[in-house]
Amino acid sequence: MDGKAVKVILGENVKFFRLRKGLTQAVLAEKADISVIFLSSIERGTKYPKAETVARLANVLGVEIFELFIRKEVPAHQIMINHLSDDIKKNVITLLDNIFKQYSG
């Protein structure tokens, strides 16, 4: 595997885990202490971050560093399903909170 392939895999995985957590590029960049432009470059596989930055990204994303370098064949629809699942969970929790407040108050 060459350096370009490593950058592409890293970028794909950062984006996958970011979407899975429901984070925007702006939020992840802020939490990892990097610019949005740099994060976008990482996700596109055009820039490679320093080891410290990779560690911060993994920490914010809640994964082990090695997970950012494993080749995954994740269909685009699976990413969308994961993202929708998170949205649905948030909406159900909000709805249940509102119902509880309505009947307990």
The contacts of residue 13 (CB under 8 Å, 6+ apart) are 67, 68, 69, 70, 72
pLDDT at 2: 79
Q: Which residue has the higher pLDDT, 85 or 18?
A: 18
Confidence of residue 23 (pLDDT cuts 50, 70, 90): very high
Identify the CATH homologous superfamily for domain 1-71. lambda repressor-like DNA-binding domains (1.10.260.40)
Query: Hey, where are the domains in the chain?
Result: 1-71, 75-105
Q: What pTM did the predictor assign? A: 0.69
Distance, in Å, from the CA atom of 59 to the CA atom of 79, rounded to the nearest integer, reads 20
Mean pLDDT in residue range 8-24? 93
**Mind listing the pLDDT tens digit for each residue in 37-95?**
999 999 999 999 999 999 999 999 999 999 999 887 655 666 666 666 777 878 888 88
